[in-house]
Structures are given as structure tokens and as C-alpha cells.
Amino acid sequence: MRLVHKYGGSSVATTEKIMAIAQRVAQLRREGTDMAVVCSAMGKTTNSLIALAKKVNDSPSKREMDALLSTGEIQTVSLMAMALQSLGVDAISMTGFQSGFITNDVHSKAFIKEINTQRMEQYLAEGKVVVAAGFQGITEDGHITTLGRGGSDTTAVAIAAKLGCPCEIYTDVDAVYTVDPRIYPAARALERISYEEMMEMASLGAGVLETRSVELAKKYGVSLYLGRALENEKKGTTIMSQQAFFEDMPVAGISIKEHCAIVSFPPMDYNASSAASIFSLIAGANINLDMINQNIVEGKVAFSFSCSDEQALELERQLNASQEGPALQIRRDLTQLSLVGVGMATHTGVAVRVFRTLAQYQIPYYQITTSEISISFTIDKENKEQAVQALAKEFDL
Amino acid sequence: MRLVHKYGGSSVATTEKIMAIAQRVAQLRREGTDMAVVCSAMGKTTNSLIALAKKVNDSPSKREMDALLSTGEIQTVSLMAMALQSLGVDAISMTGFQSGFITNDVHSKAFIKEINTQRMEQYLAEGKVVVAAGFQGITEDGHITTLGRGGSDTTAVAIAAKLGCPCEIYTDVDAVYTVDPRIYPAARALERISYEEMMEMASLGAGVLETRSVELAKKYGVSLYLGRALENEKKGTTIMSQQAFFEDMPVAGISIKEHCAIVSFPPMDYNASSAASIFSLIAGANINLDMINQNIVEGKVAFSFSCSDEQALELERQLNASQEGPALQIRRDLTQLSLVGVGMATHTGVAVRVFRTLAQYQIPYYQITTSEISISFTIDKENKEQAVQALAKEFDL
């Protein structure tokens, strides 16, 4: 049997934690499991490196930042391999380059083009535990890239997909909850959730798993488990295909995303070139769009989208520098709430219950978008807790 | 004009120091010099990483140690590239892999087999300052290797040889001195020294430059300069071909090497297989032999050599583990002194003056070896200062 384990930064923050994880992996190996272990950088290493970079350059080049940040994961995996070796387990560390993660050249958020697992398969066949650096890859030209924050989850799932085995992601949270327990302490841990719901939760800010990793798991049918590192019982959440049992509940959880901004374009003439100019501007700034709204009023197009506060700032900087493009209106310090549930597809009236509840507490809401299994909207950040509590009560979360 | 600069760990210990060096490199670049900059890991990074490794494994595998340590230099070079970019200078960092340093697979002290500078040449042609990670390479199979402590000097000289340009090595000492000034404060800084003398000084423990780097510089005729980082005037030492002016002085300097051990084999029958067993033992332990003594007495061969305390310990450990081979006698805590000077080749009587001086102060000395341009011997470490002072006075150093 093969298995991929992934340990996040807080789970490998100290050499003591690394040793404890090595003990556990060694046990599984001795029981006959072929193990691939993916690690993030230790604790706050990535943040420390970013702080160091900012000291020598206000806006460091992404190529150099990727080279710098990639060192964090390499340190963890070599230490993890050493720890396993000290327990008598044959183990070998692999950098992104060594584990064959070929990516495109979009530094700081690269996409995987290809994974050459030949070397990894060879090591597994030799009985070695493979310890692979998460988060990183290499372009065909040999430049070091990173997959973006949280990219180690993607590394782990991609390896599991290639090796055809389950992937267990260990982190500092117990499970996926119906609502962030820090904001709504009465929230419940979910034993199971569908890929689709988890993707909505992840992309909408639940923050426990990167969307891309869930998407990849769904695409390749990788069974995902999310739980707290080094807990004896499996109290975490299994992410699997959509099942009938989910349909009893219209809303599985509320996902909360902070530090959002809404960027609004002034009304423009409605023609193909105006739309093109908007999207080329967005593409140039490499912005991940969240919610998009477009209305056409009297032949003019009013376009707005939401993104992170940070990306809105970057966009503003670029526009000021280029002196071109429309004057944008940017509204910051918003919180986005999303209600997610595959049951929404069959239960009607969820949207009505949401907005009636908000109206009841006099909470203003801005952009709204909906999908088959989610309803999202932005509110002022100061209304976050009241809104979450009201909605969790309404939908029994 | 092309130029290689190399900055040691203490010279790049903080982001402030990195910025100051970037200023200087930027100035040279603006004046039209094509620059390749080689950096070591920041300050005590390498030692911290070693300490971290020891926490998870008493004797970590050399392959994993190399992967771990290589991250130190990668951090420095990406920060240096960012610092240069913040000054408006086009710069790019290169890891050992990216700068084409192909080595053999002797982890922790790998030898360079080949350097593919095609990429580096391309960057220089594009006007970029190339910032290359010292100390590291990659095997043909893609494993990360290191060139051993001080290997960044070798990286710098190898690049200078390939680029056909001088190499300036910046460190935290002013120059090469006749004797270590911490032990003999009256020592003089040398303006010039020959490759041959510097090699003896380096291999005999002067500690300012790695022997291999000087050897490489001699082989490819690379002009080497050694001085303190960020000093305005060039007060350092130039290492160059042997010149007539050196011959006036029989002794150029005294090199001091601490933490030495003498390993003695019990007398064995003198035949080819006994010698072979000794050397296969040494080769297996990957020991750098220093002084070798062999006497043949009554058909028995008495063989001993000196090496570092640490290597003697490692040898002992291996012998105990294998339960094979002869019982060795190991004498630790010795200091090796070496008098070096190309003038010795033409001045007679230097050895007599050395041992008469030691006798005068009643300092016992053990193994002795001599070369064309050096005399080396070990003494007890507690006699070090007295011996150095007496000899420095005798030879007017």
C-alpha cells in the first residue's frame, strides 16, 4: 500500500516535532506502507525570509523571491530524511527539481505542467521513504518556481495522483468546520465533505486547504483526509465524491474571507474593445478575480470585481505607474461570506433565507454571486461576527 | 573588463552588509565591469543548520547534510540579487545547479568535474550581474553536493578561471600575515605572496584561503587578491606567480594549525599487503592526511600520520564499528606549526635554526615533514604561543 502524508509549517516547526512525525512515518513504513512525505517550511520560516527580502528590496523580483523561499522546504525535507534515518528507516529528500515538478514560469504562483516521478518510483521500489519539498518546482529553463502560498497541499495531492494512492494532509486544525470556530465557537467538525463543497470552502476562504489541491484531488479521484498532526484517533475530515447523504442539509458550512476589496470600473461604452481592455489590465496584474459583477445600463457597461486588498493595491500601483487605463474605484476592508452546500442545488429558498436574515440584523451587503452550491456576498468587516452568528443559527451549523 | 568578487559569511552576515556590498558591486557595474559575485551563507547560518541536523540525527547522512547546507548560500545570493535590483542593477542569482557546477558524488567534499558556464556567459552578455552560490554543485544524477568548508573560494576561482578574469576574495581579515596576528601581534601583512607559498600556508592551516582554490588559481593563472570587505584602500595581499624578490627571505611566514592528532599504527610486517590495508582503511574513512611518517625497523614497518582531531575520531568510530583492522594509537590536542618560504629552496640551514630554537626553549616536537618550501612539525598545544614567538623572532617575521 502506498500513502502520501503532508505536514504543514506548524507541524514541523521544531526539530522535536520533526522527530515525532518521523516516528509515526517510520511506524507506517515498518508496517509495510510505501510512504511519500511532503513538508512545508518550518514554522514561520517563509515569513522570516520574506521579511529579510523586504529589507534589501521593497518589491523584490518574483524570480529571486522564489529562489529564496524554496530554501525553507528544502531545509525541512533534509531534516526529515535525517530524522527518519536516525530511526533506522531508509529515506531520501527531494527538492522540487529532484522530484520532477516542471512548472510554467509564472513565478510565485506557478502551475505544474508535468511531474516526472520516475526517480521517486525508483526510490519507493528500493524501499525508501521519499521526503519531497512542497510548494516548489522548476521551469524547463531551470529557474526555481513556487506554487504560491499553500502550494504544498497541491504538491502532496499531485504526488498522490501520480502514485495512485490516498493523501493525508496534517495541519494545526482538527478538521473542516461548518464555520471558522474562532469566529463561531459553536461550529461543528465535519466528518465528510464533498470535493465540490470543499473547493467552494477553500476558494472562498475557509483556509484549511488550497482550492487547487482539492480540484486536483477531484480530477484524479484522490481520497483526501485532513486532520491534526500526531493525533492518535482520526478525528479529521475526509473529502470525497459527492454522496446522497449530503443532500439532507442545504448548507454545509460558512466560509469567511477577510481583507477583501471591490474594484469598480467607471461605466464604459459597451463594445468588445472595452471588455478586452478591462481583462488585459486584470491579466497584466496577475489578479485572481473572486466575484465578478457586470451590469449593462443604457448601453454602458458597469463592471466590478472583488479581490484581495493586497491585489487591489498592486493593481492601483500599476495603474498609477502606467498612467493609462480607466480611473478605478477601490473599496477596501471588506469581508466576504460564503454559504456552501451541495444541497443548495436541490433545496430552494436558501438565498431568500440568507438575505432575510441579514436584513433582520440590518447588515448591509454588497456584491453578490451565486453558484450551484454557494452564495457569496461581501459585508463591512465590522459586521462579520454578527452576520456569521445569525446565519449559523439560521442554518443550524 | 570582467571581475569575480567573492564575499565570505561574515561579510554578508546581515542585510545591511549585503546592501553595502551591493552598492559597491553596483558602482563597479556602472563603471562598465562585467561582474560575477560569489557569496557564502550569511554569518553563522551553516553552523546553525549543522546544529539543527544534529538534533535529529547524531551522524546525519552526508547527502542530506549537503542538501540542507546548500540552502544557506541560495538564501544569500537571492538576497544579493534583490539588493542589486533595488539599486537599479540587473542581477540574477544562480544555485550550484543553475551555474553548472557538476561534481563527483563525494558528498560534503565533492570535486568539480565540469563547469557549464554557458548560462552564466549569456547573463553576462545581457549585462546582468551574476550572483552565484558558492560551495555547492550537483552530481550528474542530480544530487546536491558541497565542496567542503571554505569551498566558496574554490567556486569563485573556478568561475574566474572559466571567465578568464581576476578573482578578488573579500573576507574578515585584512591580508595574509607572516603569522596569525592573534597569536603573534607583531606579525606583518604581506603585500604579495607566491601561489606556492600560499598553498603551503593554506594547507598548513593559515586558514584565510582554501588550498584547492589557490591550486586552481595557479593552474589557470588566475590573479587572486585577498582583503577585507568594504575597505576603501586595497591593503590586502595579491597572490601571484613566484618572483625573484621573494628569495631574499628564507621564511615568508608561519602557519598554525590547531586541533591536530597523530594516528600511529602498531608495527606490521613490511610487505605490500600491509601497506595496502593501511591505505584502504584511510581511503575508506575519507581522511585528508597531513604529515606521513614511515620507518622500517628490523623488517617491521612503523607508520603514522597526522590529521584533524575530528577525522581521527571518525576513524576510531569506524574501526570500532567494523571490528577489523589494526588497533590504532591516537594522540590528540596537538598544534602543527609550519614555516613556509620559497627562499628555503636556496637558503640552507633553516631546519637547523628551527630545531635549535625549539631546543633552546625546551619545547618538545613530534612528527616532522619537510617540502621544498616548508618545514612542519607538531607540538603540544600549550607550547604554541611560546614556539611561535621564538620562531617569529628568529626569522624576523
**Using the beta-carbon criterion (under 8 Å), do A63 and B92 form an inter-chain contact?**
yes
CB contact under 8 A, A64 and B56: no
And the C-alpha cell for A180?
A: 471558522
Which one, of A94, A152, A101, A97, lies nearest residue A124 by Cα?
Answer: A94
* Percent of chain A surpassing pLDDT 90: 48
The pLDDT, as a whole number, for residue B185 is 86
Q: What is the pLDDT of residue B207?
A: 63
Kindly identify which residue of chain B lies nearest to residue A139, measuring between CA atoms: B98
- Measure the CA–CA gap between B393 and B378, rounded to whole angstroms: 19
What does the pLDDT read at residue B69?
Answer: 97
Give me the residue label for grid cell 573576507: B171
Under an 8 A CB cutoff, do A56 and B95 touch?
Answer: no
Euclidean distance between CA atoms A61 and A144, whole angstroms? 13
Range from A196-210, A342-356, B110-124 carrying the lowest mean pLDDT: A196-210
Are the beta carbons of A74 and B64 separated by less than 8 Å? no
A124: left (phi over 0), alpha (psi -120 to 50) or beta: alpha
Contact with chain A for residue B22, Cβ under 8 A: yes
Nearest chain B residue (CA) to A42: B52
B74 close contact with A: CB closer than 8 A: yes
- Tell me the C-alpha distance between A11 and A25, whole Å: 14
* Residue A29 C-alpha, separation from nearest chain B C-alpha, in angstroms: 18
Which whole-number Å values give the CA distances from A83 to A142, B37, B127, in the listed order?
30, 35, 44
**CB atoms < 10 A from the CB of A353, how many?**
17
Cα angle value B317/B321/B327 (rounded, 5°): 70
Q: Which residues from chain A sit within 8 angstroms of residue B65, using beta carbons?
A: 78, 82
Q: Among the listed ranges A73-82, A105-114, A123-132, which one has the minimum average pLDDT value?
A: A105-114
> How many Cβ atoms are within 10 Å of A37's Cβ, its own excluded?
31
Q: Do B58 and A85 touch (CB under 8 A)?
A: no
A140-158 pLDDT, tens digit each:
999 999 998 679 999 999 9
Q: List the single residue in B15, B57, B70 with the smallest CB-CB distance to A55.
A: B15
3 state DSSP class of A55:
helix
Query: Residue written as cell 537599479?
Result: B88
- Grid coordinates given for A71: 530554501
Q: What is the full per-residue pLDDT of chain B (397 aa) written as tens digits? A: 999 999 999 999 999 999 999 999 999 999 999 999 999 999 999 999 999 999 999 999 999 999 999 999 999 999 999 999 999 999 999 999 999 999 999 999 999 999 999 999 999 999 999 999 999 999 999 999 999 867 999 999 999 999 999 999 998 888 888 888 888 888 888 888 888 888 877 665 556 787 788 889 988 999 999 998 887 777 899 998 875 445 466 788 888 888 999 888 777 776 666 666 666 777 776 676 667 776 666 667 777 888 888 888 888 877 777 666 667 788 888 998 988 887 776 666 788 888 889 888 999 888 787 777 788 888 999 999 999 999 999 888 8
A264-297 confidence digits (pLDDT tens) = 877 777 666 666 666 777 777 767 666 777 666 6
Q: Chain A contacts of B142, Cβ < 8 Å?
A: 97-98, 119
Q: Does A98 touch chain B (CB under 8 A)?
A: yes
Q: Is A132 on the interface with B (CB under 8 A)?
A: no
* Optimal mutation site among A54, A65, A79, A119, interface B, most CBs of chain B within 10 A: A79
Q: Pick from B98, B100, B103: which is nearest to B145 by CA?
A: B103
For B143, the closest chain A residue by CA position comes to A98
Please provide the average confidence, as pLDDT, over all residues in chain A.
87
C-alpha cell at B333: 590536542
Could you tell me if A287 and A311 are in contact, meaning their C-beta atoms sit under 8 angstroms apart?
A: yes
Q: Tell if the CB–CB gap between A82 and B53 is shorter than 8 Å.
A: yes
**Residue the block writes with cell 586552481:** B216
What mean pLDDT do residues A227-234 have? Answer: 81
Q: In chain A, which ranges are continuous DSSP H helix?
A: 15-30, 45-56, 62-86, 118-125, 151-163, 195-203, 211-219, 272-284, 309-322, 350-360, 384-394
Q: B70 and chain A: CB distance < 8 Å anywhere? A: yes
Phi, psi of B6 (to 5 degrees): -125, 130
* Whole-number Å distance between alpha carbons of B290 and A168: 52
**Element spanning B200, H or E:** helix B195-203
3-state secondary structure of B245: helix
Q: Which letter does DSSP use for residue A147 in this model?
A: -
Please judge whether B83 and A49 are an interchain contact, meaning their C-beta atoms are less than 8 angstroms apart.
Answer: no
Q: For residues B69 and A79, what is the distance between their CA atoms, to the nearest angstrom?
A: 11
Q: Do B79 and A86 touch (CB under 8 A)?
A: no
User: A81 contacts in B (CB within 8 Å)?
Assistant: 61, 64, 67
- Distances in whole angstroms, Cα of residue A169 to Cα of each of A21, A176, A225, B268: 13, 12, 6, 60
Determine whether the interchain pair A79/B65 forms a contact, defined as Cβ–Cβ distance below 8 Å. no
Q: Which of B64, B85, B135 to mutate to test the interface with A (most CBs of A within 10 A)?
A: B64
Q: Least CA distance to B141: which residue of chain A? A: A98
Separation CA A135–CA A222 (nearest Å): 19
Angle at A270 between CA A268 and CA A274, to 5 degrees: 65
Interface probe for A, chosen from B21, B56, B145 (most Cβ of A below 10 Å), is B56
Q: Which of A19, A71, A73, A82 to mutate to test the interface with B (most CBs of B within 10 A)?
A: A82
Tell me, yes or no, if B81 comes closer than 8 A to chain A by beta carbon: yes
Computed on alpha carbons and rounded to an integer, the radius of gyration of chain A in Å comes to 22
Identify residue B321 by its one-letter amino acid code. Answer: A
Relative to beta strand A2-7, strand A167-171 is: parallel
Q: Give the whole-angstrom CA distance, residue B53 versus residue A89.
A: 16
CB contact under 8 A, A79 and B53: yes
Question: Is A81 in contact with B98 (Cβ distance < 8 A)?
Answer: no
- Please identify among residues 220-279 of chain A the ones whose CB lies closer than 8 Å to any CB of chain B: none
Closest partner residue to B64 (CB to CB) among A61, A64, A93 is: A93
Nearest CA in chain B to A141: B98
Beta-carbon contacts of A165 under 8 Å, excluding residues fewer than 6 positions away, are A1, A2, A3, A4, A222
Using a CB–CB cutoff of 8 Å, tell me whether B144 touches chain A: yes
B105/A contact by beta carbon, under 8 A: no
User: How many other C-beta atoms lie within 10 A of the C-beta of residue B321?
Assistant: 8
CA distance A261 to A312: 7
- The answer to whether A142 contacts B93, with C-beta atoms less than 8 Å apart, is no
Q: If you count residue pairs, one on A and one on B, with CB atoms under 8 Å apart, how many are there?
A: 117
The alpha-carbon gap from A71 to the nearest alpha carbon of chain B, in Å, equals 5
Q: Report the residue from B56, B68, B119 with minimal CB separation from A86.
A: B56
What whole-number distance in Å separates Cα of residue A95 and Cα of residue B54?
A: 21
Length in residues, chain A:
397
The answer, for B33 touching chain A at a CB cutoff of 8 Å, is no
- Chain B hits for A15, CB-CB cut-off 8 Å, are 52, 55-56
Cα separation values, A4 from A33, A87, A127, A151, Å: 10, 19, 15, 15
Residue B147 has, within 13 A of its CA and on its CB side, a CA count of 27
Pairing of strands A192-194, A237-240: parallel
Q: Which of B16, B54, B79 to mutate against chain A (most A CBs within 10 Å)?
A: B79
Query: Residue B15 is nearest to which of A52, A82, A144, comparing CB atoms?
Result: A52
Closest-CA residue of A relative to B46 is A75
A83 touches chain B (CB under 8 A): yes
* Residue among B116, B135, B122 nearest B92 (CA): B122
CA-based nearest residue in chain A for residue B83:
A56
H helix count then E strand count, chain B: 11, 21
Residue with cell 457569496: A376
| Tens digits of residue pLDDT in B18-54 | 999 999 999 999 999 999 999 999 999 999 999 999 9
Pairing label, strands A101-103, A112-115? antiparallel
Measured CA to CA, the distance from residue A7 to residue A5 in angstroms comes to 7
Residue A85: which pLDDT band, with cuts at 50, 70 and 90?
very high
Q: Residue B172: in which H helix or E strand, if any?
A: none
Q: For B259, how many CA atoms within 13 A lie in the half-sphere containing its CB?
A: 7
The answer to whether the CB atoms of B85 and A60 lie below 8 A apart is: yes
ipTM (interface predicted TM): 0.75
